[in-house]
């Protein structure tokens, strides 16, 4: 799971601003779309932070957190101007079907279903869904059609958690 050079530079620029708001930067998606690009920022609560009483599910990211991060990050982007042209800024929690941006993020979701899109076909497919069995420094092991299937980290294009009721 590699970041593009643009995404990496945005991550380094934005991460301190997000941390100043008391949340962590889960990941960034930068989608150039012709004249108007999209910068989507996912935030999450730091590990070990308990949910506020009355909050349901998730890790407790609320609208107030998103607004606070939007203002903070907008200021940083206005000063450094790393994106040429017009762009829309979105800030949200990763949600129930959270996307993964780093292999290390997946370790907390062993024994849960994940969906992957791989660069080179695995078991004859580029889109995979199965139970995450293990995460290692080299990649992960996915239970696919009843068989453990190792998948190298460099072969993973996109990954996300599959919400199960």
Between 43 and 50, whose confidence is greater? 43
Give tens-digit pLDDT for 64-119: 999 999 999 999 999 999 988 899 999 999 999 999 999 999 999 999 999 999 99
Residue of 155, 146, 154, 147 lying closest to 127 (CA atoms): 155
Q: What is the mean pLDDT of the chain?
A: 90
Average pLDDT over residues 28-48: 90
The better pLDDT of the pair 52, 33 is held by 33
pTM of the model: 0.86
Residue 136 has pLDDT above 70, yes or no: yes
Residue 10 is inside which H or E element, if any? helix 5-19
Whether residue 50 has pLDDT greater than 90: no
Say if residue 94 is exposed, middle or buried (CB neighbours under 10 Å; 0-12, 13-18, 19+).
buried
Measured in degrees and rounded to the nearest 5, phi and psi for residue 163 equal -70, 130
**Closest among 3, 5, 83, 101 to 44, alpha carbons compared:** 101
């Amino acid at each position: 799971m590699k970041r593009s050079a643009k995404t990496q530079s945005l991550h380094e620029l934005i991460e301190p601003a997000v941390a100043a708001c008391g949340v962590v930067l889960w990941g960034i998606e930068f989608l150039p779309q012709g004249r108007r690009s999209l910068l989507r920022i996912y935030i999450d609560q730091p590990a070990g932070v308990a949910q506020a009483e009355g909050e349901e599910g998730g890790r407790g990211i609320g609208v107030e957190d998103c607004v606070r991060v939007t203002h903070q990050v907008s200021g940083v982007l206005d000063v450094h101007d790393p994106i040429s042209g017009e762009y829309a800024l979105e800030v949200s929690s990763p949600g129930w079907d959270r996307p993964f941006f780093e292999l290390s993020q997946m370790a907390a979701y062993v024994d849960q279903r994940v969906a992957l899109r791989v660069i080179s076909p695995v078991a004859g497919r580029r889109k995979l869904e199965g139970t995450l069995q293990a995460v290692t420094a080299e990649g992960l092991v996915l239970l696919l059609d009843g068989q453990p299937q190792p998948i190298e980290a460099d072969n993973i294009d996109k990954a996300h958690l599959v919400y199960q009721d």
